[in-house]
Amino acid sequence: HWIVPVESHGVKLLSIGFFAAPDQAVAWRGPMASKALEQLFKDADWGELDVL
């Protein structure tokens, strides 16, 4: 399953905040934050990109 980024005006965007409730704070550190960022980069359906 691919994570589909939000797109507006040709710019694709993903954020950890998209997966948390609006009233829920997200304060990850160390390995947990690294793994989450890696997953956003690798598991997203970015399509064809000029820059990441």
Condensed to tens digits (0 to 9), the pLDDT of residues 37-52 reads 898 889 999 998 888 7
How much is the pTM? 0.64
Interatomic CA distance for residues 49 and 18, integer angstroms:
21
Terminal-residue alpha carbon distance, the chain: 20
Structure tokens that stand for 46 in this block: 């970015």
Distances (CA, A) of 8 to 1, 12, 13, 29, 48: 22, 7, 8, 29, 15
> Does residue 23 carry a pLDDT above 80?
yes
pLDDT at 14: 92
